[in-house]
Chains A and B, each alone.
Chain A
Amino acid sequence: MIHVLGCGPLNTIQDLGRAGYRNIGVTATGAMDPIALKVGNLLVGNDEDAAGIEIQTFPFRIEFEQAQVFALTGADCAARLDGQDLPPWWCIRAEPGQVLELSTPMKSARAYLCLQGGIDVPLVMGSRSTSLRGSFGGHEGRPLAVGDILPVMAGTTISPPVNGFGIVPPAQAMPNLFPVSDTGDLILRAIPAGEHDLFGDDSERFWSQTWKITSQSDRTGYRLSGAPLQLSAPVELRSYGIIPGIVQVPPGGEPIIQMSDANTAGGYPKMAGVIDGDLWRLGQARIGSKISFRQSSLTEALAVERAIDAYIDDIRRTLPLVANALVAMTKR
Protein backbone atom coordinates (compact mmCIF):
# COMPACT_ATOMS: atom_id res chain seq x y z
CA MET A 1 0.00 0.00 0.00
CA ILE A 2 1.03 3.58 -0.52
CA HIS A 3 -0.16 6.67 1.34
CA VAL A 4 -0.67 9.95 -0.50
CA LEU A 5 1.00 12.65 1.63
CA GLY A 6 1.03 15.54 -0.83
CA CYS A 7 -1.01 15.97 -3.99
CA GLY A 8 -2.22 18.79 -6.25
CA PRO A 9 -5.49 18.70 -8.18
CA LEU A 10 -6.28 16.34 -11.06
CA ASN A 11 -3.72 13.59 -10.50
CA THR A 12 -5.41 10.34 -11.45
CA ILE A 13 -5.01 6.60 -11.79
CA GLN A 14 -4.68 5.66 -15.46
CA ASP A 15 -3.95 2.61 -17.53
CA LEU A 16 -3.98 2.47 -21.34
CA GLY A 17 -7.69 3.30 -21.40
CA ARG A 18 -11.16 1.88 -21.62
CA ALA A 19 -11.23 0.76 -25.24
CA GLY A 20 -14.35 -0.66 -26.81
CA TYR A 21 -17.07 1.43 -25.16
CA ARG A 22 -17.02 4.59 -27.25
CA ASN A 23 -20.07 3.25 -29.10
CA ILE A 24 -22.06 3.80 -25.89
CA GLY A 25 -20.54 7.20 -25.21
CA VAL A 26 -17.90 6.08 -22.71
CA THR A 27 -14.69 8.04 -23.16
CA ALA A 28 -11.57 5.91 -23.58
CA THR A 29 -9.53 8.00 -21.06
CA GLY A 30 -6.08 6.46 -20.37
CA ALA A 31 -2.58 7.88 -19.97
CA MET A 32 -1.90 11.10 -21.91
CA ASP A 33 1.62 9.76 -22.57
CA PRO A 34 1.04 6.06 -23.23
CA ILE A 35 4.71 5.38 -24.05
CA ALA A 36 5.80 6.57 -20.60
CA LEU A 37 3.18 4.38 -18.89
CA LYS A 38 4.11 1.33 -20.96
CA VAL A 39 7.83 1.70 -20.28
CA GLY A 40 7.21 2.36 -16.57
CA ASN A 41 5.20 -0.83 -16.33
CA LEU A 42 7.82 -2.85 -18.23
CA LEU A 43 10.54 -1.53 -15.89
CA VAL A 44 8.78 -2.97 -12.83
CA GLY A 45 7.87 -6.22 -14.57
CA ASN A 46 4.15 -5.48 -15.09
CA ASP A 47 2.03 -5.96 -18.16
CA GLU A 48 2.34 -2.71 -20.05
CA ASP A 49 -1.31 -1.78 -19.47
CA ALA A 50 -1.26 -2.01 -15.66
CA ALA A 51 -2.67 0.97 -13.76
CA GLY A 52 -0.24 3.66 -12.61
CA ILE A 53 -0.54 7.23 -11.36
CA GLU A 54 -0.51 10.11 -13.83
CA ILE A 55 0.90 13.15 -12.04
CA GLN A 56 0.31 16.54 -13.64
CA THR A 57 0.32 18.85 -10.61
CA PHE A 58 3.17 19.10 -8.13
CA PRO A 59 4.65 18.64 -5.60
CA PHE A 60 3.47 15.07 -5.20
CA ARG A 61 4.49 13.01 -2.19
CA ILE A 62 3.80 9.41 -1.15
CA GLU A 63 4.95 7.06 1.60
CA PHE A 64 5.53 3.36 0.98
CA GLU A 65 4.00 1.15 3.67
CA GLN A 66 6.00 -1.89 2.62
CA ALA A 67 8.98 -2.62 0.38
CA GLN A 68 7.91 -1.73 -3.15
CA VAL A 69 9.57 -1.76 -6.55
CA PHE A 70 8.46 1.30 -8.53
CA ALA A 71 9.39 3.22 -11.68
CA LEU A 72 9.13 6.87 -12.66
CA THR A 73 8.80 7.84 -16.33
CA GLY A 74 7.52 10.80 -18.33
CA ALA A 75 8.43 14.33 -17.22
CA ASP A 76 11.66 14.70 -15.20
CA CYS A 77 10.42 15.77 -11.76
CA ALA A 78 13.73 15.84 -9.88
CA ALA A 79 12.39 12.94 -7.82
CA ARG A 80 13.82 12.21 -4.37
CA LEU A 81 13.43 9.02 -2.36
CA ASP A 82 14.03 9.89 1.29
CA GLY A 83 16.16 12.81 0.07
CA GLN A 84 18.20 10.74 -2.40
CA ASP A 85 18.05 12.05 -6.00
CA LEU A 86 16.61 9.67 -8.57
CA PRO A 87 17.33 9.97 -12.30
CA PRO A 88 14.33 10.23 -14.67
CA TRP A 89 13.01 7.06 -16.33
CA TRP A 90 14.28 5.05 -13.38
CA CYS A 91 13.25 1.88 -11.51
CA ILE A 92 14.28 1.19 -7.92
CA ARG A 93 13.06 -0.52 -4.75
CA ALA A 94 11.68 1.55 -1.87
CA GLU A 95 11.93 0.28 1.70
CA PRO A 96 9.03 0.42 4.18
CA GLY A 97 8.42 3.97 5.43
CA GLN A 98 10.41 5.68 2.67
CA VAL A 99 8.95 8.85 1.15
CA LEU A 100 9.00 9.67 -2.56
CA GLU A 101 8.69 13.30 -3.60
CA LEU A 102 8.21 14.72 -7.09
CA SER A 103 8.77 18.42 -7.87
CA THR A 104 7.42 20.58 -10.70
CA PRO A 105 9.22 19.56 -13.90
CA MET A 106 11.22 22.13 -15.91
CA LYS A 107 10.14 20.55 -19.19
CA SER A 108 7.19 18.35 -20.14
CA ALA A 109 3.88 18.11 -18.33
CA ARG A 110 3.17 14.67 -16.90
CA ALA A 111 5.03 12.06 -14.86
CA TYR A 112 4.02 8.42 -14.40
CA LEU A 113 4.50 6.36 -11.25
CA CYS A 114 4.23 2.63 -11.85
CA LEU A 115 4.27 0.15 -8.96
CA GLN A 116 5.25 -3.51 -9.26
CA GLY A 117 1.97 -5.43 -9.47
CA GLY A 118 -0.06 -2.36 -10.48
CA ILE A 119 -2.45 -0.28 -8.44
CA ASP A 120 -5.34 -2.35 -7.13
CA VAL A 121 -8.52 -0.51 -7.97
CA PRO A 122 -11.59 -2.24 -9.44
CA LEU A 123 -11.86 -2.87 -13.16
CA VAL A 124 -14.78 -0.89 -14.54
CA MET A 125 -15.72 -1.86 -18.09
CA GLY A 126 -12.35 -3.49 -18.61
CA SER A 127 -10.15 -0.66 -17.35
CA ARG A 128 -8.83 0.91 -14.14
CA SER A 129 -8.56 4.38 -15.68
CA THR A 130 -10.27 7.25 -13.90
CA SER A 131 -13.10 8.79 -15.90
CA LEU A 132 -13.30 12.28 -14.42
CA ARG A 133 -16.38 13.36 -16.35
CA GLY A 134 -18.20 10.10 -15.68
CA SER A 135 -17.02 9.92 -12.02
CA PHE A 136 -16.17 6.24 -12.23
CA GLY A 137 -13.03 4.11 -12.53
CA GLY A 138 -9.68 4.75 -10.84
CA HIS A 139 -9.82 5.55 -7.12
CA GLU A 140 -13.50 6.22 -6.32
CA GLY A 141 -14.00 7.86 -9.71
CA ARG A 142 -12.09 10.98 -8.65
CA PRO A 143 -8.63 12.58 -8.63
CA LEU A 144 -6.26 11.53 -5.84
CA ALA A 145 -6.21 13.56 -2.63
CA VAL A 146 -4.03 13.84 0.45
CA GLY A 147 -4.85 10.98 2.82
CA ASP A 148 -5.71 8.44 0.12
CA ILE A 149 -4.41 4.93 0.70
CA LEU A 150 -3.88 2.91 -2.47
CA PRO A 151 -3.51 -0.88 -2.41
CA VAL A 152 -1.05 -2.53 -4.78
CA MET A 153 -1.49 -5.95 -6.34
CA ALA A 154 1.06 -8.71 -5.91
CA GLY A 155 3.39 -8.70 -8.90
CA THR A 156 6.50 -10.49 -10.01
CA THR A 157 9.29 -10.65 -7.49
CA ILE A 158 11.95 -9.37 -9.88
CA SER A 159 14.08 -6.90 -7.97
CA PRO A 160 16.18 -4.17 -9.55
CA PRO A 161 19.81 -3.62 -8.48
CA VAL A 162 20.26 -1.66 -5.23
CA ASN A 163 20.87 1.64 -6.98
CA GLY A 164 18.18 0.95 -9.53
CA PHE A 165 18.38 1.08 -13.30
CA GLY A 166 16.86 3.12 -16.10
CA ILE A 167 15.89 3.45 -19.73
CA VAL A 168 16.73 6.07 -22.33
CA PRO A 169 13.50 8.06 -22.95
CA PRO A 170 12.00 7.85 -26.45
CA ALA A 171 12.89 11.40 -27.59
CA GLN A 172 16.57 10.72 -26.76
CA ALA A 173 16.54 7.14 -28.00
CA MET A 174 15.05 8.22 -31.35
CA PRO A 175 16.17 11.86 -31.82
CA ASN A 176 15.53 11.94 -35.56
CA LEU A 177 12.02 10.59 -35.27
CA PHE A 178 10.40 13.51 -33.45
CA PRO A 179 10.72 16.96 -35.08
CA VAL A 180 11.01 20.25 -33.18
CA SER A 181 11.41 23.76 -34.63
CA ASP A 182 14.64 25.81 -34.51
CA THR A 183 13.26 27.50 -31.41
CA GLY A 184 12.43 24.18 -29.78
CA ASP A 185 8.66 24.31 -30.42
CA LEU A 186 6.84 21.05 -30.91
CA ILE A 187 6.10 20.16 -34.53
CA LEU A 188 3.10 17.84 -34.74
CA ARG A 189 2.52 15.74 -37.78
CA ALA A 190 -1.10 15.58 -38.89
CA ILE A 191 -3.26 14.34 -41.75
CA PRO A 192 -5.97 16.56 -43.30
CA ALA A 193 -9.48 15.61 -42.17
CA GLY A 194 -12.97 15.81 -43.71
CA GLU A 195 -13.60 19.58 -43.71
CA HIS A 196 -9.98 20.68 -44.31
CA ASP A 197 -10.63 21.94 -47.84
CA LEU A 198 -13.79 23.83 -46.78
CA PHE A 199 -11.54 26.32 -44.99
CA GLY A 200 -10.18 27.54 -48.36
CA ASP A 201 -7.06 29.70 -47.96
CA ASP A 202 -7.41 29.51 -44.17
CA SER A 203 -6.45 25.83 -44.34
CA GLU A 204 -2.98 26.92 -45.50
CA ARG A 205 -2.69 29.20 -42.47
CA PHE A 206 -3.56 26.30 -40.20
CA TRP A 207 -0.31 24.63 -41.29
CA SER A 208 1.88 27.73 -41.55
CA GLN A 209 1.14 29.59 -38.31
CA THR A 210 2.38 28.89 -34.80
CA TRP A 211 -0.28 28.10 -32.19
CA LYS A 212 -0.17 28.56 -28.45
CA ILE A 213 -1.65 26.03 -26.00
CA THR A 214 -4.00 28.11 -23.81
CA SER A 215 -4.74 27.69 -20.12
CA GLN A 216 -8.13 26.25 -21.12
CA SER A 217 -6.40 22.94 -21.77
CA ASP A 218 -6.59 19.69 -19.82
CA ARG A 219 -6.97 15.95 -20.30
CA THR A 220 -10.18 16.59 -22.26
CA GLY A 221 -8.54 18.72 -24.91
CA TYR A 222 -6.26 21.62 -25.73
CA ARG A 223 -7.61 24.99 -26.85
CA LEU A 224 -5.17 26.77 -29.13
CA SER A 225 -4.81 30.50 -29.65
CA GLY A 226 -3.73 32.17 -32.86
CA ALA A 227 -5.27 34.02 -35.82
CA PRO A 228 -8.75 32.42 -36.20
CA LEU A 229 -9.64 30.16 -39.13
CA GLN A 230 -13.00 30.44 -40.88
CA LEU A 231 -14.90 28.14 -43.21
CA SER A 232 -15.46 29.51 -46.72
CA ALA A 233 -19.19 28.77 -46.20
CA PRO A 234 -20.96 27.56 -43.05
CA VAL A 235 -21.67 23.82 -42.69
CA GLU A 236 -24.00 21.99 -40.29
CA LEU A 237 -22.44 18.62 -39.52
CA ARG A 238 -24.15 15.54 -38.13
CA SER A 239 -22.60 14.25 -34.92
CA TYR A 240 -19.69 11.89 -35.59
CA GLY A 241 -17.23 9.81 -33.55
CA ILE A 242 -14.30 11.62 -31.95
CA ILE A 243 -10.83 10.27 -31.14
CA PRO A 244 -7.82 11.82 -29.40
CA GLY A 245 -5.72 13.89 -31.80
CA ILE A 246 -8.62 15.23 -33.86
CA VAL A 247 -8.22 18.96 -34.53
CA GLN A 248 -11.60 20.68 -34.73
CA VAL A 249 -12.40 24.31 -35.46
CA PRO A 250 -15.38 25.65 -33.45
CA PRO A 251 -17.29 28.78 -34.59
CA GLY A 252 -14.76 31.08 -32.88
CA GLY A 253 -12.08 29.90 -35.31
CA GLU A 254 -9.38 28.86 -32.83
CA PRO A 255 -8.70 25.11 -33.04
CA ILE A 256 -9.27 22.51 -30.32
CA ILE A 257 -7.27 19.27 -30.17
CA GLN A 258 -9.28 16.55 -28.43
CA MET A 259 -7.30 14.44 -25.96
CA SER A 260 -7.72 11.33 -23.76
CA ASP A 261 -10.87 12.45 -21.88
CA ALA A 262 -12.66 13.83 -24.96
CA ASN A 263 -16.36 13.21 -25.54
CA THR A 264 -16.92 10.30 -27.90
CA ALA A 265 -18.93 12.30 -30.44
CA GLY A 266 -19.20 15.87 -31.61
CA GLY A 267 -20.13 18.07 -34.51
CA TYR A 268 -17.49 20.76 -35.08
CA PRO A 269 -15.77 20.87 -38.48
CA LYS A 270 -12.53 18.85 -38.43
CA MET A 271 -9.36 20.26 -39.91
CA ALA A 272 -6.84 17.47 -39.28
CA GLY A 273 -5.89 14.48 -37.17
CA VAL A 274 -2.54 14.29 -35.36
CA ILE A 275 -0.79 11.00 -36.12
CA ASP A 276 -0.83 8.45 -33.26
CA GLY A 277 2.96 8.51 -32.99
CA ASP A 278 2.90 12.18 -31.96
CA LEU A 279 0.04 12.00 -29.44
CA TRP A 280 2.35 11.20 -26.51
CA ARG A 281 4.36 14.34 -27.29
CA LEU A 282 1.17 16.37 -27.24
CA GLY A 283 0.35 14.72 -23.90
CA GLN A 284 3.65 16.10 -22.61
CA ALA A 285 3.13 19.60 -24.07
CA ARG A 286 2.71 22.35 -21.49
CA ILE A 287 0.16 25.09 -21.21
CA GLY A 288 1.65 28.27 -22.73
CA SER A 289 3.98 26.40 -25.07
CA LYS A 290 3.92 26.82 -28.85
CA ILE A 291 3.20 24.19 -31.43
CA SER A 292 2.86 23.98 -35.18
CA PHE A 293 1.41 21.37 -37.50
CA ARG A 294 3.15 19.72 -40.43
CA GLN A 295 1.21 17.90 -43.09
CA SER A 296 2.03 14.23 -42.84
CA SER A 297 1.29 11.10 -44.83
CA LEU A 298 0.24 7.58 -44.02
CA THR A 299 3.72 6.48 -45.11
CA GLU A 300 5.29 8.66 -42.45
CA ALA A 301 2.69 7.71 -39.81
CA LEU A 302 3.38 4.04 -40.46
CA ALA A 303 7.16 4.56 -40.18
CA VAL A 304 6.77 6.36 -36.83
CA GLU A 305 4.33 3.71 -35.56
CA ARG A 306 6.84 0.96 -36.43
CA ALA A 307 9.77 2.77 -34.82
CA ILE A 308 7.85 3.26 -31.55
CA ASP A 309 6.72 -0.38 -31.56
CA ALA A 310 10.35 -1.45 -32.10
CA TYR A 311 11.51 0.76 -29.20
CA ILE A 312 8.94 -0.83 -26.85
CA ASP A 313 9.60 -4.36 -28.16
CA ASP A 314 13.31 -3.89 -27.60
CA ILE A 315 12.71 -2.88 -23.99
CA ARG A 316 10.31 -5.76 -23.42
CA ARG A 317 12.84 -8.24 -24.81
CA THR A 318 16.08 -7.01 -23.29
CA LEU A 319 14.93 -5.64 -19.94
CA PRO A 320 14.80 -8.93 -18.00
CA LEU A 321 18.29 -9.83 -19.28
CA VAL A 322 19.76 -6.42 -18.43
CA ALA A 323 18.13 -6.36 -15.00
CA ASN A 324 19.44 -9.82 -14.14
CA ALA A 325 22.94 -8.96 -15.35
CA LEU A 326 22.96 -5.77 -13.27
CA VAL A 327 21.76 -7.60 -10.18
CA ALA A 328 24.45 -10.27 -10.69
CA MET A 329 27.14 -7.59 -11.06
CA THR A 330 26.13 -5.73 -7.92
CA LYS A 331 26.08 -8.96 -5.93
CA ARG A 332 29.64 -9.79 -6.89
Chain B
Amino acid sequence: MSNTSLKAPHVTPAHMGLPKISMIGNRSYLVEAPGELDLPAQRRIWALERTLKARPDVHELIPGMTNLLVILQRTAEDSGRFQDELLEIWQQTAELDLLGKTIEVPTTYGGEHAIDLAAICDYSGLTDKEVVRLHWERTYTVFSVGSAPGFGYLGGLDPRIFMPRKKVPSLRMLKGMVTIGGMQSGISVLTGPNGWNSIGFTELTVFDATAEPPTLLAPGDRVRFIPERVEL
Protein backbone atom coordinates (compact mmCIF):
# COMPACT_ATOMS: atom_id res chain seq x y z
CA MET B 1 0.00 0.00 0.00
CA SER B 2 1.55 3.28 -1.03
CA ASN B 3 0.93 6.14 1.33
CA THR B 4 1.32 8.85 -1.26
CA SER B 5 -1.63 7.65 -3.33
CA LEU B 6 -3.92 8.20 -0.37
CA LYS B 7 -2.71 11.70 0.35
CA ALA B 8 -4.91 13.41 -2.17
CA PRO B 9 -5.46 17.12 -1.80
CA HIS B 10 -8.61 17.57 0.24
CA VAL B 11 -9.90 20.35 -1.97
CA THR B 12 -10.04 20.40 -5.75
CA PRO B 13 -10.80 24.06 -6.57
CA ALA B 14 -13.53 24.96 -9.02
CA HIS B 15 -12.05 26.25 -12.26
CA MET B 16 -12.69 26.10 -15.96
CA GLY B 17 -16.25 24.94 -15.45
CA LEU B 18 -15.28 22.07 -13.18
CA PRO B 19 -16.90 21.47 -9.81
CA LYS B 20 -15.09 21.97 -6.52
CA ILE B 21 -14.61 18.73 -4.60
CA SER B 22 -13.92 18.68 -0.86
CA MET B 23 -14.05 15.94 1.76
CA ILE B 24 -16.24 15.57 4.84
CA GLY B 25 -14.54 12.94 6.99
CA ASN B 26 -12.88 9.96 5.32
CA ARG B 27 -15.48 8.66 2.89
CA SER B 28 -17.72 11.57 1.85
CA TYR B 29 -17.05 13.90 -1.06
CA LEU B 30 -18.91 17.17 -1.57
CA VAL B 31 -19.16 18.03 -5.27
CA GLU B 32 -20.13 21.69 -5.77
CA ALA B 33 -21.23 22.87 -9.22
CA PRO B 34 -19.47 25.95 -10.55
CA GLY B 35 -21.48 29.08 -11.32
CA GLU B 36 -24.80 30.43 -10.15
CA LEU B 37 -27.49 28.86 -8.01
CA ASP B 38 -29.79 28.13 -10.94
CA LEU B 39 -31.74 25.34 -12.57
CA PRO B 40 -29.10 24.43 -15.21
CA ALA B 41 -26.55 23.85 -12.41
CA GLN B 42 -29.06 21.80 -10.45
CA ARG B 43 -29.80 19.71 -13.55
CA ARG B 44 -26.09 18.82 -13.73
CA ILE B 45 -26.31 17.71 -10.09
CA TRP B 46 -29.37 15.55 -10.81
CA ALA B 47 -27.49 13.99 -13.74
CA LEU B 48 -24.43 13.27 -11.60
CA GLU B 49 -26.66 11.72 -8.95
CA ARG B 50 -28.35 9.46 -11.48
CA THR B 51 -25.00 8.29 -12.90
CA LEU B 52 -23.48 7.56 -9.48
CA LYS B 53 -26.58 5.73 -8.17
CA ALA B 54 -25.61 2.53 -9.96
CA ARG B 55 -22.11 2.32 -8.46
CA PRO B 56 -21.66 -0.44 -5.88
CA ASP B 57 -19.02 1.56 -3.96
CA VAL B 58 -21.53 4.37 -3.30
CA HIS B 59 -23.40 4.10 0.00
CA GLU B 60 -25.62 7.16 -0.17
CA LEU B 61 -26.08 10.32 -2.23
CA ILE B 62 -27.41 13.57 -0.76
CA PRO B 63 -28.21 16.25 -3.33
CA GLY B 64 -28.07 19.80 -1.96
CA MET B 65 -28.42 23.19 -3.62
CA THR B 66 -26.22 22.84 -6.75
CA ASN B 67 -24.08 20.31 -4.89
CA LEU B 68 -24.01 16.58 -4.21
CA LEU B 69 -22.61 14.74 -1.21
CA VAL B 70 -21.25 11.35 -2.31
CA ILE B 71 -20.90 8.93 0.62
CA LEU B 72 -18.85 5.83 -0.16
CA GLN B 73 -19.37 2.42 1.46
CA ARG B 74 -15.78 2.42 2.67
CA THR B 75 -12.74 4.69 2.65
CA ALA B 76 -11.35 4.84 -0.88
CA GLU B 77 -8.01 3.09 -1.37
CA ASP B 78 -7.04 5.79 -3.83
CA SER B 79 -8.91 8.97 -3.05
CA GLY B 80 -7.18 11.10 -5.67
CA ARG B 81 -8.24 8.69 -8.37
CA PHE B 82 -11.83 8.71 -7.13
CA GLN B 83 -11.88 12.52 -7.27
CA ASP B 84 -10.53 12.39 -10.83
CA GLU B 85 -13.28 9.92 -11.70
CA LEU B 86 -15.90 12.29 -10.30
CA LEU B 87 -14.53 15.11 -12.47
CA GLU B 88 -14.53 12.85 -15.53
CA ILE B 89 -18.14 11.83 -14.90
CA TRP B 90 -19.04 15.48 -14.44
CA GLN B 91 -17.59 16.35 -17.84
CA GLN B 92 -19.34 13.45 -19.53
CA THR B 93 -22.84 14.05 -18.13
CA ALA B 94 -25.28 16.47 -19.68
CA GLU B 95 -28.06 18.26 -17.80
CA LEU B 96 -30.88 16.03 -16.62
CA ASP B 97 -34.32 17.63 -16.70
CA LEU B 98 -36.57 15.96 -14.16
CA LEU B 99 -40.16 16.28 -15.31
CA GLY B 100 -42.02 16.41 -12.04
CA LYS B 101 -45.60 16.93 -11.07
CA THR B 102 -47.14 20.30 -10.20
CA ILE B 103 -48.26 20.78 -6.62
CA GLU B 104 -50.62 23.54 -5.53
CA VAL B 105 -50.15 24.80 -1.99
CA PRO B 106 -53.23 26.51 -0.53
CA THR B 107 -51.71 29.30 1.55
CA THR B 108 -52.83 31.88 4.08
CA TYR B 109 -50.54 34.88 3.65
CA GLY B 110 -50.13 37.35 6.50
CA GLY B 111 -51.90 36.90 9.82
CA GLU B 112 -50.48 35.45 13.02
CA HIS B 113 -48.03 33.05 11.31
CA ALA B 114 -46.39 35.67 9.06
CA ILE B 115 -43.99 36.61 11.83
CA ASP B 116 -41.26 37.92 9.52
CA LEU B 117 -43.32 39.71 6.87
CA ALA B 118 -42.63 43.15 8.41
CA ALA B 119 -38.87 42.46 8.42
CA ILE B 120 -38.99 41.49 4.73
CA CYS B 121 -40.87 44.73 3.94
CA ASP B 122 -38.16 46.69 5.76
CA TYR B 123 -35.36 44.82 3.98
CA SER B 124 -36.88 45.04 0.50
CA GLY B 125 -38.57 48.43 0.70
CA LEU B 126 -41.77 46.82 -0.60
CA THR B 127 -45.26 46.86 0.92
CA ASP B 128 -46.64 43.67 2.48
CA LYS B 129 -49.12 43.34 -0.42
CA GLU B 130 -46.23 43.47 -2.93
CA VAL B 131 -44.11 40.93 -1.04
CA VAL B 132 -47.02 38.48 -0.93
CA ARG B 133 -47.90 38.99 -4.59
CA LEU B 134 -44.27 38.53 -5.73
CA HIS B 135 -44.17 35.30 -3.72
CA TRP B 136 -47.32 33.66 -5.12
CA GLU B 137 -46.88 34.86 -8.70
CA ARG B 138 -43.82 32.71 -9.22
CA THR B 139 -43.76 28.99 -10.03
CA TYR B 140 -41.04 27.28 -8.01
CA THR B 141 -38.97 24.19 -8.71
CA VAL B 142 -38.01 21.66 -6.02
CA PHE B 143 -34.19 21.68 -6.28
CA SER B 144 -33.64 19.14 -3.53
CA VAL B 145 -35.35 17.57 -0.52
CA GLY B 146 -33.52 17.58 2.77
CA SER B 147 -32.60 19.06 6.15
CA ALA B 148 -35.81 17.78 7.74
CA PRO B 149 -38.09 14.92 6.55
CA GLY B 150 -39.68 15.90 3.24
CA PHE B 151 -38.56 19.54 3.31
CA GLY B 152 -38.27 20.87 -0.24
CA TYR B 153 -35.73 23.53 -1.13
CA LEU B 154 -37.61 25.65 -3.68
CA GLY B 155 -35.70 27.59 -6.31
CA GLY B 156 -37.16 30.41 -8.39
CA LEU B 157 -37.72 33.14 -5.83
CA ASP B 158 -38.12 36.68 -7.15
CA PRO B 159 -34.80 38.38 -6.24
CA ARG B 160 -36.74 41.43 -4.99
CA ILE B 161 -37.93 39.42 -1.97
CA PHE B 162 -34.55 37.85 -1.19
CA MET B 163 -34.22 37.72 2.59
CA PRO B 164 -31.13 36.42 4.46
CA ARG B 165 -31.63 33.65 7.01
CA LYS B 166 -31.82 34.89 10.59
CA LYS B 167 -28.55 35.00 12.55
CA VAL B 168 -30.43 33.69 15.59
CA PRO B 169 -33.13 31.14 14.69
CA SER B 170 -36.68 31.60 15.99
CA LEU B 171 -37.15 28.91 18.61
CA ARG B 172 -40.64 27.66 17.89
CA MET B 173 -41.58 27.93 14.26
CA LEU B 174 -44.68 25.89 13.41
CA LYS B 175 -44.92 23.08 10.92
CA GLY B 176 -46.62 24.45 7.79
CA MET B 177 -45.07 27.90 7.74
CA VAL B 178 -44.36 29.28 4.27
CA THR B 179 -40.85 30.69 4.44
CA ILE B 180 -38.03 32.47 2.62
CA GLY B 181 -34.36 31.66 3.32
CA GLY B 182 -31.96 33.68 1.17
CA MET B 183 -32.89 33.01 -2.46
CA GLN B 184 -34.85 29.90 -1.48
CA SER B 185 -38.42 29.31 -0.40
CA GLY B 186 -39.92 26.39 1.53
CA ILE B 187 -42.66 24.95 3.72
CA SER B 188 -41.49 24.03 7.22
CA VAL B 189 -42.14 20.37 8.06
CA LEU B 190 -41.35 20.24 11.78
CA THR B 191 -42.24 22.53 14.66
CA GLY B 192 -38.99 23.77 16.19
CA PRO B 193 -36.05 26.17 15.76
CA ASN B 194 -35.85 27.63 12.27
CA GLY B 195 -33.79 30.43 10.75
CA TRP B 196 -36.00 31.06 7.73
CA ASN B 197 -38.49 33.93 7.46
CA SER B 198 -42.21 33.21 7.64
CA ILE B 199 -44.76 35.03 5.47
CA GLY B 200 -47.69 32.61 5.63
CA PHE B 201 -49.07 29.20 6.55
CA THR B 202 -50.43 26.07 4.86
CA GLU B 203 -52.26 23.01 6.19
CA LEU B 204 -50.66 20.85 3.48
CA THR B 205 -48.77 17.87 4.90
CA VAL B 206 -45.56 17.17 2.98
CA PHE B 207 -44.30 14.12 4.91
CA ASP B 208 -45.87 10.89 6.20
CA ALA B 209 -43.43 8.21 7.42
CA THR B 210 -45.95 5.40 6.78
CA ALA B 211 -46.83 6.43 3.20
CA GLU B 212 -45.07 5.19 0.08
CA PRO B 213 -43.40 7.41 -0.93
CA PRO B 214 -43.30 9.27 2.41
CA THR B 215 -42.66 12.63 0.75
CA LEU B 216 -45.01 14.81 -1.26
CA LEU B 217 -42.25 16.85 -2.92
CA ALA B 218 -39.60 15.36 -5.20
CA PRO B 219 -36.73 17.05 -7.05
CA GLY B 220 -38.00 18.54 -10.30
CA ASP B 221 -41.56 19.07 -9.05
CA ARG B 222 -43.17 22.46 -9.67
CA VAL B 223 -44.77 24.23 -6.74
CA ARG B 224 -47.41 26.97 -6.92
CA PHE B 225 -48.63 28.80 -3.85
CA ILE B 226 -52.36 29.59 -4.08
CA PRO B 227 -53.30 32.65 -1.98
CA GLU B 228 -56.48 31.29 -0.39
CA ARG B 229 -56.51 34.04 2.23
CA VAL B 230 -54.49 37.20 2.52
CA GLU B 231 -54.68 38.74 6.00
CA LEU B 232 -52.85 42.06 5.87
**Interfacial residues, chain A to chain B (CB-CB below 8 A):** 19-20, 22-27, 124-125, 131, 133-134, 136-137, 190-194, 196-197, 236, 238-243, 245-246, 251, 263-267, 270, 273-276, 296-299, 301-302, 305
A23 to B61, CA, bound (A): 7
A119 to B79, CA, bound (A): 39
**A24-B6 in contact (CB<8A):** no
B155 to chain A, nearest CB (A): 10
B139 at the binding interface (Cβ < 8 Å) = no
B10 at the binding interface (Cβ < 8 Å) = yes
A305 surroundings in chain B (CB, below 8 A): 26, 74-75
- Across the two chains, which residue of chain A brings its CB closest to B182? A236
Known: A23-B63, A26-B149, A124-B210. Is A241-B69 also a contact (CB below 8 A)?
yes
**Interfacial residues, chain B to chain A (CB-CB below 8 A):** 3, 6-8, 10-11, 20, 22-28, 30, 32, 37, 59-69, 71, 74-77, 79, 144-151, 153, 164-165, 167, 182, 184, 189-190, 192, 207, 209-210, 213-215
B3, B22, B26, B63: residue with the most chain A Cβ atoms closer than 10 Å: B26
A245 to B27, CA, bound (A): 11
A239 surroundings in chain B (CB, below 8 A): 64-65, 144, 146-147, 153, 184
A194 to chain B, nearest CB (A): 4
8 closest Cβ contacts across the A-B interface? A241-B62, A241-B69, A273-B25, A301-B26, A194-B22, A265-B146, A238-B65, A136-B209
B209 surroundings in chain A (CB, below 8 A): 124-125, 131, 134, 136-137
Known: A193-B23, A241-B69. Is A302-B146 also a contact (CB below 8 A)?
no
A19 to B61, CA, bound (A): 11
A73 to chain B, nearest CB (A): 24
**A276-B24 in contact (CB<8A):** no
A193 to B22, CA, bound (A): 6
B182 surroundings in chain A (CB, below 8 A): 236
